[in-house]
Chain A
Amino acid sequence: MNLSQSTKTEVVPHKPWVKGAHFIITLSFLALTVSGFVILMSHPRLYWGKAGNDLTPALFELPISRNYHHGGWDKSIPFKHVTGRQVTAARTYDIFNENGWGRSTHFLAAWFMVLTGIIYFIAGFYSGHFWRNLVPRRREFSLKLLCRDVAAHLRRHMHYTGKYGLLQKITYLSVIFLLFPLVILTGFTMSPAITASYPFLLKIFFGHQSARTIHFFAAVLLLLFLLVHVVMVARSGFKRNIWAITFGR
């Protein structure tokens, strides 16, 4: 990698459908993040397993709303015939709940994301974009090169070569083929109608609440990716890169 050479490399603009998908997915991802946060605010507790609620122990609680400190229960009634401490009890307080528009916005944005994602997948395979630009070549697969790439990123030595580095390829591939499918499938697993038709979803994610927890962590990883992605784009030539992915010809 020669710096003087790389700075002279011409900007390779992306294909229109890559740019279009980028636009729509970025916008719907932001809408999903905001509305997802609003939904999480009405019950900021996460569980593992088939079911979980305020009366059962949580995996952990996020201090992101007043519902984090909940306001107590009226007299609880034990289930006499069930062993253990299972009870039913009524909440004595009003919670923060903006889930009306929160959920509808979430699902509307999810439609945009999923439909665009399907077109992107088909076009990506059909045009050879994934194979040509994202799948690492055999000669790239060496621990030495990967270490050098990581070290270069850590030392903030970014070179623009017009092609993706190994670290970049691995990240993009895991976001496209791992994180996005995971976040969509765990989202489906929270739907009572979908899991009635496809109960295997509840099995592979260990239940409704586990799916919700995995959905949360996958979303956090996607958000981290977005942040790092934007920082990297900015560091390796903000104007040029943004132009290439937006209006560049």
Chain B
Amino acid sequence: MKRKLLMNRRQAILTGLTSAGALLLSGCLKKAPPTYGNILRMGDDLTYIAQRGLLSQRALAMEYQKSEITSFPVTDIGDPADPASKKAYSKTYQQLQRNNFKDFALVVEGCVAAPRKYSMDELKKLGARTQITRHTCEEGWSAIAEWTGVPLSAVLKDAGILKTARYVGLYGFDNYAESIDMLDAFHPQTILAHTMNGEEIPARNGAPLRLRVETQLGYKNVKFLQRIVVTDKFTDPAPDITSGWSWYTGI
């Protein structure tokens, strides 16, 4: 006589997989960015949840000696000051650059008590951090440079960040944009850099202001910063949202 089981092996496997999926999904809905049904982004979310859960969020990325500074290639999508650059060109940026960025002002808006513009002098008054760090490109190369800038946390605090705030979107003049969560935004090494290797940031390295997130890959570090938007909902302003480019690039 055949023994009656609560469920056979196939049922057990299916039940296990379904419940694991349901657990993962409910976890995603609360903490992780949406996957839009893209299986590759589901893997990225798993990485995001695991790294946020397992790693020390205050740990500093390795800082280097001055003698270890290397050459620094520029691999952006184009020059925002160049009208021939179709994707990146910005007339406003071209005019600002002509005037050596004297009229430059960073817009801070969204979930902040006082949305406003910050001139470079106002930003510099908020504090400075200098760090010699490694830029790690998703392509595979890396470069070490010295960066000085205003901690992003200082800017957010000054603008009066609201309790509902969860993500920070950063927009560049070159039509490039990224967003980061609050843990990365308040990381001590996350700065809005205005100085590279002791001088004003060179044109193609992101003048006059660029983001440095040392705990993520190179493409998070938005150049030619124009605008910061604090949001209470997840946004991924990056152009390749569905094509498999990870939103979280701590990996």
Contact = CB atoms under 8 A, between A and B. Distances in A.
B141 A192 contact: no
B197 A81 contact: yes
Given A52-B141, A202-B62, A209-B142, A108 B43 contact: yes
Given A194-B55, A208-B134, A77 B40 contact: no
A192 B215 contact: yes
Interface string B181-211: 0000000000000001111001011000000
A52 B139 contact: no
A50 B68 contact: yes
A102 B250 CA distance: 16
B18 interface: no
Interface of B: 39-44, 46-47, 51, 55-56, 59-62, 64, 66, 68-76, 79, 134, 136-144, 196-199, 202, 204-205, 214-217, 240, 243-246, 250-251
A150 to B, nearest CB: 37
Contacts of B140: 39-40, 42-43, 45, 212
Contacts of B43: 104, 107-108, 111
Given A74-B204, A88-B204, A111-B43, 12 more contacts: A39-B140, A40-B140, A51-B68, A51-B70, A56-B70, A82-B66, A88-B72, A89-B74, A90-B79, A194-B51, A196-B61, A197-B56
A223 to B, nearest CB: 18
B244 A105 contact: yes
Contacts of B69: 79, 82, 86
A36 B129 CA distance: 36
B141 A54 contact: yes
Nearest to A74: B204
Interface in A77-126: 77, 79-82, 85-91, 95, 97, 99-105, 107-108, 111
Contact of A195 (B62, B72, B79): B62
A86 B141 contact: no
Contacts of B245: 99-100, 104
Task: Identify the 7 closest CB pairs spanning chains A and B, nearest first.
Answer: A193-B250, A108-B43, A55-B71, A43-B140, A104-B40, A101-B244, A53-B141
